[in-house]
Structures are given as C-alpha cells and as structure tokens.
Amino acid sequence: MIGEGNSASAPCSATVQTRTPTRGSHARGCPILNRILRVGLLGGVNRAANPRDWVAAGGDGGWAAAGARLAPMRLTLPLLIAVLTVSADALAAPPPPVGGGGDVIEGHAQATEGDTLLVDGGEIRLYGIDAPDPGQTCQNRRGATYDCFAQATKELQAVVQDKIVRCTTKESPPKQRRLAVCTVEGRDVAGIMVRAGWALAYTALTPDYYNTQVLAMSHRAGMWGGRVEPPWLWRDRQATLEADATGKPRKKPSGQP
C-alpha cells in the first residue's frame, strides 16, 4: 500500500498537506509529537513520528529516526502534559471521520489487503491509512521475519467478518480505487486497524489517525512489537531495486490508494 480515528480538529491538522498526494508521497509531521517520539517518552519507541524521517537504521533492516538513535528520555512537565493529552484524545474514541457526503455502500465485506475491502462487489480502499503491500515482510519482537501483508489482511477480515459494513465514499484520484470511510457497528474500521497496529496513519492525506498511531506505537501493538518498514517507503525501495535490476527508468510508486 489503525483504535478509533481522531477528528480533523486534531492539534496538528493544520500541518497536513491539502493537495491530493500520491501513494508514494511523504507526510508532514506534527512538531509536538515528533519531539515526544524523538526523546523516547512513549515507551522508548525507536521510530520517528514524521514518515520523512524513517530511514534504514543499518544492515539489520530496522527503521529509526534519521541521523541518529533516539536521545535518552528526558521527562519534563510540558512534554508529560503533551503525552497525557495525546493519550486522552486517542482513548476518547471520537466519531469516525466525515465521509464527505459521497455515495453510501453497504453490505458484507471481504478483506483483500490490510486496507482494502470488497463491499457489494466493489473494491474500496480505506481512507487515511496504509497497510503492508503484497510481498512485504516485517520482523516480530524476536527478530523473526513474517508476512505482515498476510497478517494485516487477516486482521482486517476478522474486523468485518459476518458484519454489515457501511462505507461512505470520498473524492478519489482518477483511475484509482475508491476511497471511503467504512464503519462496522458504528466503529471506524480504519481506526480499528491503526489502533491494533496493523495499518499506519497516512498523514499526507488526513491527520485523523495520527494520534491513534502514536498510542499504538507506545503500546507496541501489532507490527509495532517488532520492526516495520512504512509501506510507502517499501514501495519506493522496490521501484528503485527494479530500476537497478532492469536498467530501465525508475517507475514512480503507485499513488494512494
């Protein structure tokens, strides 16, 4: 190619790009939350909040903040208040993001990827999140490699299994899959996937799931229990490897969705 989503009134919503991004584009981060993660206040998570700063940490295939390992924990009162505020916001379970007044599609669903559903015979991409792509692998907390694409797909299927899914479509880029906000029993499906740690917030498109991802990272939920390469960076790396192997011009990674 994330717990309940946060509303568009999230503290850092103003920093998000308003243009329609490609799936390979990088998000602008939240300065406050970036600082929190950089000093390691949330459970010592060794990842930067801004996707631009997620780079290879060496030959072990891990991912960490660009330039250096994270600094030692420095617990100051202002940052502690910020942490508690973020956690409270994420746990408050606000309503799902507004669907934008698009078409409503309802029915039983089948997961084809960790962020994609077949609903009433049509393919729908969950708005605002990005899950591992076919062929992408991750490492668990013991360092063993596993198929995180297959696992994320399995987790999404468990969320929608034998339930009626209601999706409200959003404006989608031309020639790409429809984007939609989907709910089951009133709960935001994309938000559930991010909170469980089986999808990432795609903040280049919306800030709705940013705080939820911070909470998932702090609890080492799902993929965050080990090592995960953000899907947009994985796609970018695959495009480079293909160009190097074939000698052909590098293909632009597919857009989101």
Q: What is the DSSP string of 132-191?
A: PPTT--EE-TTS-EE-HHHHHHHHHHHHHTTSEEEEEEE---TTSPEEEEEEETTEEHHH
Cα–Cα dist 185/126, whole Å: 16
Q: Which residue has the tokens 């909170």?
A: 195
Question: Is the pLDDT at 159 greater than 90, yes or no?
Answer: yes
| Total tally of structural domains belonging to the chain | 1
- Tell me the whole-structure pTM to 2 decimals: 0.64
pLDDT digits (tens, 9 = 90+) for 193-248: 999 999 999 998 899 999 999 999 999 999 999 999 999 999 988 888 877 677 67
Cα–Cα dist 156/110, whole Å: 9
Cα–Cα dist 133/199, whole Å: 11
122-126 and 178-184 strand pairing: parallel
- Do the domain assignments include residue 252? no
Residue 134: which domain range?
Answer: 13-246
Q: What is the pLDDT of residue 231?
A: 94
pLDDT digits (tens, 9 = 90+) for 115-142: 999 998 899 999 999 999 999 999 999 9
Comparing CA positions, the residue from 12, 10, 92, 86 lying closest to residue 43 is: 86
- Give phi and psi for 149, each to the nearest 5: -65, -50
Cα–Cα dist 146/138, whole Å: 6
Axis crossing angle, helix 31-38 with helix 210-218, rounded to the nearest 10: 10
Hey, what are 33's tokens? 């939350």
Hey, what are 120's tokens? 């009433």
Q: What is the pLDDT of residue 250?
A: 57
- Do the domain assignments include residue 147? yes
Q: What is the CATH number of the domain that holds 165?
A: 2.40.50.90
Question: Which one is predicted more confidently, 83 or 27?
Answer: 83
- Do the domain assignments include residue 5? no
Question: Is the pLDDT at 155 greater than 90, yes or no?
Answer: yes
- Do the domain assignments include residue 164? yes
Q: What is the pLDDT of residue 154?
A: 98
Hey, what are 210's tokens? 């940013």
- Do the domain assignments include residue 128? yes
- Do the domain assignments include residue 225? yes
- Do the domain assignments include residue 144? yes
Distances (CA, A) of 150 to 40, 61, 111, 123, 138: 30, 20, 10, 18, 11
- Do the domain assignments include residue 8? no
